[in-house]
Structure 1
Amino acid sequence: MMKRWTAITLGTLLISSALTGCAGSSATTKSKEGKAGGVVDDPGEKITINLMTRSYAGGGWAPNHPMVEEINKRLNIDLKIEWVPSANYQEKLNVMAASNNFPDVFYAPKAEFVKWQSKDVFMNVRPELSKYPNIVKYIPEEAIKQFNPKEKYYGIPFYYQEVRDSLAIRKDWMDKLGLKMPETIDEFYEVAKAFAMKDPDGNGKQDTVGFSMEVNPGGAFGFGGTAAYLTTSFGLANNWTLDGNGKLIPMQTQAKELKDYIGFMRKAYAEGVLDKDSPILKSRDSLNKLEAGKSGIAPVNPQQLYVETIPPLLKTDPKAELVQLMPPKGTSGKSGIKSSTSGDKIVINSKIDAKKQQRILKLLDYMLSDEGYDFVKHGIEGVHYKKISDTKYEQLEASVKDRQFLLLGWFFKRFDPMFLIYKWMDPKEVATIKNYFDNNEKVKVKDAAAGLVSETATKLGANIDKKWMDTMVKIIAGQEPIDSIDKAIAEWKAAGGDKIIQEMNEEYQKVNQ
């Protein structure tokens, strides 16, 4: 939520001018919102749809990809997909904005979505959704509303799991050391200390760690690694919480809770229970240590458990056994996993023909239907998989080559934590993965300000958060005293935090009047 805007340059001013001109152009605008209302899509008319989204390792599909050809046939469209490398995506959007030349439907990151929604760039889909039952069924209305103005839906959410990763622990190490599954924060500490001090891997060296943290380079609070799953145990908010008077309070000002949490981490660091490398660890480093057999506790992605995590671990130790570890309860009985809110949207160009808008909505609705969702996930029967029996399927070689799931993974999908689970997978593994997600759902802790935006936070948040975070890391490493927390809070508030608190509460009151 607290991301820094780039400095205003001539380029961004030109973009803003182009978008403003776009909003007022009588040559391109037939009607403002709900333009598709009353238009009936003719399924017999073939319509070209230009779609743009991000791509990652391996890139996207070629134009003649079998999945594109099949979806064209099913919906009588000519789908042209532009796959833009994720590192260049924001730049690509800005170039398109400057030339007023957006695709028909595209992925819009939260920052651009919030920045451009008042410029008449995106179609308001709210009046149309009643025609598309699968969108209504599989996309929660609460998620659609987030980051949209009241009574307007300028986009449909791109799904990120609210709670994806979960802690896992080496059960074989616990068994070897005679330890039980930790349920409280004190028990967690004792288990982690044993993992660091008592040679759980039996190699005669003290070369294992208790648990790790990773420092977000952007400065947003929430240590990565195992430490991120302990904040709720000490009463810290997931970004924002409500006080007894219904006022939003940011985690950065929770002095007592911060002193308890940072004090715990400081002790763990001093005693060698917290990984000494923690201040320099970055994303995934704690999981790398788990997979290498050097750590016994780390967050894992359940969907990648049997693909990425367990195979290298078993190469290191064939007897290794991982099980889920729920966040330990603090002295007040609190525990939980912080849920996330992305704000990214799939948006439809407000300027395109109304018939095309309807066909795009039909495409999105089809992708969420039982038939369409099965198709965009598993591909074409007989090409990407084959049915062996009513309950057994086999993945075919073309699936590995074609990566038939890209449209689902990188563009649009149901709100479904199991979206990467395929029907040809081992049922026992699927059951374990589902159990991870089911358990996570029971303990998720929401951000009380999810979906709200502060202009000051957008401009200054990353800078003041980073400075605040730097102080927390120094305190944990013993370079500054615990009392520096009070100074860090005061500086955060004076540098823009007080204004952020004011703006966030104003936005909260608007939504909850």
Structure 2
Amino acid sequence: MKGSVSLLAVAAVLAGCAGNGGPQTDKPAQQDGSKPLIVTIATPQVGEAPKKDSEVELAIEKYTNSKIDMQWIPGAAFEDKKNIMIASSDMPKAFKITSNATTLAAIQSGLFWEIGPLLQNYKNLSALDDYYYDNIKVDGKLYGLPLYRDTGRAGLVYRKDWFDELGLKLPVTLDDWYAMMKTMAEKDPNKNGEQDTYGLFLDKSFNDPAGSNTFLTRLAVSQGAPNKWGEENGKLIPEFMTTPYLNAMKLLRELYREKLINQDFSVVQAADADNKWNAGQAAIRVNTVASAAATSHENLKKTVPDSIVDVEPYIGPFGNRVPAEPGNNGFFVFPKSSVASEEELEQLLGFFDKLLDPEMSTLLTRGFEGKHYTKTADGKAELKDLSLFNLEVKPYRDSLPSFEVTGQGLPLKLSPLQEKGWEVVAGNLPNVVPNLALTLSSATYLEKGGELDTLIRDAQTKFIMGKMDEAGWLAEVDNWKKAGGDKVIEEYTAAYAKQKQ
């Protein structure tokens, strides 16, 4: 594998410095032997689940000489379903999961194949930077194939027409955030005579402990907080034990008290929050990334054709400061209960390696020439119908390890908003704040992490909803520490000190 990567090259790749050629899906890939490889895949659903034997799925099967069974599980139910599948050992051959306490415990218990020593045998998988793999290793060993992602994707996708009309600038300080939220809720920016607009519409993942792209972490980091875990006086401490994070929580508490954010945020699904944006009822779309600004605008234009959307970086009192994401949107593991032998494991890795071929990268990131994109005179792909692409291609693009950072597919001709979104991503990279505990191990967290995360999330929600005061919040932090949090801090601190040696 390459030793280092300049992720600043991503924007250049997208602007046209990648490979060329469309998806030559008439060129079948041969696995060992002539029989198609059976590939069962479980993954969270992205948008509307594609139908079985969709055009994209059939093209993948033909190219890779495989038979695919995609199990699309609704995102809201995925964690519960994942835990049931792990407990029963009733798992697919390729299982897309994310890093959290139950995942780490399952990996350490020996349920999944180690794949690190095998990657050198695959040209595409081994060519990708070590960074993507290092961030998902457990005890120094690699068990998964990441869905490769950029690390500085945070951005403010917003209704520029509303901000301009109301004479507002994007918020920098927490006071700015409050003023913006109050104005958007009370000044009727959609001019329908009703109080049905929000500065932002929160969903229940706003404080997900496993997600550095969650709104509360993004907001707190912009105000000086660490990204999940930071260092203070020689110790690693969680973000929620810092003053900037508490101040961000206090802002949400005040916004809730004044009904300037949706009162049902603790139960709202991400899809419902998306629908509020799509319906033209939110000024900022917080559960998205900068590079998706154009897609956000396309979705909004169906309801508000004359809307104007823009994207800018998060800017706080300390300038551009965003949480570093782990370089993946989850990763595929291979259960020993369903992958019977190392030979079958090697065939599955061969399947995923082929997905990174230029033909497959083009298919998964552009779709079919003539239907989803046209080829420009300078050899780039220009999307014809973004809505059709989002319906037919995007679920596979977002769920399989083939993405822009690989730079293998046909380069995309960017619209001005797309180009600006990727410029924000590239500009964020020098200013990302790492999660210092991302690759560290804590035996206590593996044992009690789910319980500890639930304790603190529930306390945050109750604090924001006014069901406990600041003294009650601090008491819950003490309870977290006594329930095992102090031990987690101790173990992460020791592991971090060892890592730095």
Shorter-normalised TM-score: what interval?
A: 0.7 to 0.9
Counterparts in 2 of 1:249-264, with a 5 A limit? 249-254=237-242, 256-264=243-251
The residue identity in structure 2 corresponding to 1:293 is G
Q: Runs of 5+ in structure 1 lacking a partner?
A: 1-40
Does the alignment pair 1:141 with 2:130? Answer: yes
Q: Distance in 2 between matches of 1:150 and 1:445?
A: 23
1:90 to 65, 82, 85: 82
Q: Distance in 1 between matches of 2:460 and 2:116?
A: 44
Does the alignment pair 1:337 with 2:337? Answer: no
- Structure 1 residue 450 displacement after superposition: 0.8
Aligned length: 459
Does the alignment pair 1:294 with 2:284? Answer: no
SS at match of 2:355: helix
Counterparts in 2 of 1:162-201, with a 5 A limit? 162-164=151-153, 166-201=155-190
Q: Distance in 1 between matches of 2:355 and 2:458?
A: 44
Does the alignment pair 1:451 with 2:439? Answer: yes
- Structure 1 residue 141 displacement after superposition: 1.4
For 2:148, the equivalent position in structure 1 comes to 159
Q: Runs of 5+ in structure 2 lacking a partner?
A: 1-28
- Structure 1 residue 165 displacement after superposition: 5.2
State which drifts further: 337-346 or 292-301: 337-346
1:52 to 22, 32, 40: 40
Structure 2 length as normaliser, TM-score?
0.73
- Structure 1 residue 320 displacement after superposition: 2.7
Q: Distance in 1 between matches of 2:38 and 2:310?
A: 45
SS at match of 1:152: coil
Taking structure 1 as reference, are residues 431 and 422 closer, same or farther at Cα in structure 2, changes over 3 Å only? farther
Do the aligned residues in 2 keep the contact of 1:212 with 1:225 (CA within 8 Å)? no
Deviations 1:419-452 (A, max 9, x none): 9x98677633432442343345454332111133
- Structure 1 residue 296 displacement after superposition: 1.9
Q: Distance in 2 between matches of 1:207 and 1:376?
A: 38
Q: CA RMSD in A?
A: 4.4
Taking structure 1 as reference, are residues 290 and 418 closer, same or farther at Cα in structure 2, changes over 3 Å only? farther
Counterparts in 2 of 1:395-410, with a 5 A limit? 403=392, 407-410=396-399
For 1:326, the equivalent position in structure 2 comes to 313
Taking structure 1 as reference, are residues 472 and 445 closer, same or farther at Cα in structure 2, changes over 3 Å only? same
Deviations 1:38-70 (A, max 9, x none): xxx99774364232212536656656x666665
Do the aligned residues in 1 keep the contact of 2:293 with 2:309 (CA within 8 Å)? no
- Structure 1 residue 249 displacement after superposition: 0.8
SS at match of 1:410: coil
Q: Distance in 2 between matches of 1:453 and 1:184?
A: 35
Taking structure 1 as reference, are residues 165 and 289 closer, same or farther at Cα in structure 2, changes over 3 Å only? farther
Percent of aligned positions that are identical: 21
Counterparts in 2 of 1:92-491, with a 5 A limit? 93-94=85-86, 97=89, 103=93, 107=96, 110=99, 114-117=104-107, 122-138=112-128, 140-150=129-139, 152-159=141-148, 162-164=151-153, 166-216=155-205, 220=209, 227-245=216-234, 247-254=235-242, 256-271=243-258, 273-276=260-263, 278=265, 281-299=268-286, 300-302=288-290, 305-307=293-295, 309-312=297-300, 315-316=303-304, 318-330=305-317, 333=318, 336-341=321-326, 344-347=330-333, 357-378=345-366, 387=375, 389=377, 390-391=379-380, 403=392, 407-414=396-403, 416=405, 427-491=415-479
Q: Distance in 2 between matches of 1:239 and 1:225?
A: 11
Q: Distance in 1 between matches of 2:62 and 2:195?
A: 62
Do the aligned residues in 1 keep the contact of 2:279 with 2:300 (CA within 8 Å)? yes
Deviations 1:209-267 (A, max 9, x none): 3444444499749899865532123433222112242x31112322x334433333344
Does the alignment pair 1:493 with 2:481? Answer: yes
Do the aligned residues in 1 keep the contact of 2:156 with 2:290 (CA within 8 Å)? no
Q: Distance in 2 between matches of 1:396 and 1:468?
A: 43
Structure 1 length as normaliser, TM-score?
0.71
Deviations 1:89-117 (A, max 9, x none): 6378448737xx974x5545546763454
Do the aligned residues in 1 keep the contact of 2:201 with 2:262 (CA within 8 Å)? yes
SS at match of 1:153: coil
The residue identity in structure 1 corresponding to 2:454 is K
Q: Distance in 2 between matches of 1:224 and 1:70?
A: 32
Q: Which has the higher contact order (CA 8 A, sep 6+)?
A: 2
- Structure 1 residue 277 displacement after superposition: 5.1
SS at match of 2:189: coil
Do the aligned residues in 1 keep the contact of 2:362 with 2:410 (CA within 8 Å)? no
